[in-house]
Chains A and B, each alone.
Chain A
Amino acid sequence: GAGVSQSPSNKVTEKGKDVELRCDPISGHTALYWYRQSLGQGLEFLIYFQGNSAPDKSGLPSDRFSAERTGGSVSTLTIQRTQQEDSAVYLCASSLGLGSGGSNEQFFGPGTRLTVL
């Protein structure tokens, strides 16, 4: 009945490699978000999924970044040909969604710390 979970907690990779980050949202939450937290840029929105609607990809920094959400639950964020500037903590959040008629409060997972050497 836990909160949002993410894996791995830490990932070290070499420049040019692809990485996949996973997020398991809170059961019953229809909305899922990815954010990135880095020293230079603070907390930035990346991508948002709501139910069966097309995702809002407006925050993805380049076409090397993509995400999918299978079955309306688990999501995977993929970064291809990683660069050193991709090093950051990647946070996933979930919520009941705007249609919940209230706050759309987002609950965050523990994050994945990505280091690109």
Chain B
Amino acid sequence: ELKVEQNPLFLSMQEGKNYTIYCNYSTTSDRLYWYRQDPGKSLESLFVLLSNGAVKQEGRLMASLDTKARLSTLHITAAVHDLSATYFCAVDKNTDKLIFGTGTRLQVFP
């Protein structure tokens, strides 16, 4: 059974600081996704990672994938308040359905 774990579950960080969210999954997977969810809102797609070593960046967020370690990271550079949200990673195994991690609730304070 494919399982996805994220850590930390909760992250409170100061503006301007850097941090990394980790996503581990239990079996080989074809694709890994990162989503953002604001309170009371739906899921917004951030990144799609399709191969080992893939790295994608958008603004202050950078995602990477190591399929051998079954690990993806979401790195936050010089955090700003607007990044406060819950971040989910998800994987699929060529079955289309997404298996989601527990989510990481990020709070950025001044």
Contact = CB atoms under 8 A, between A and B. Distances in A.
Interface of A: 31, 33, 35, 42-45, 48, 50, 56, 58-59, 91, 93, 95, 97-98, 102-111
B70 interface: no
Interface stretch (B17-25, B59-67, B72-80, B89-97): B89-97
B33 A45 contact: no
Query: Number of contact residues on B: which range applies?
Result: 20 to 34
Given A104-B31, A105-B33, A45 B43 contact: no
B48 A103 contact: yes
A105 B56 CA distance: 15
Given A42-B102, A104-B31, A33 B96 contact: yes
B24 to A, nearest CB: 15
A84 B94 CA distance: 34
A31 B42 contact: no
Interface string B74-110: 0000000000000010101011111110110000000
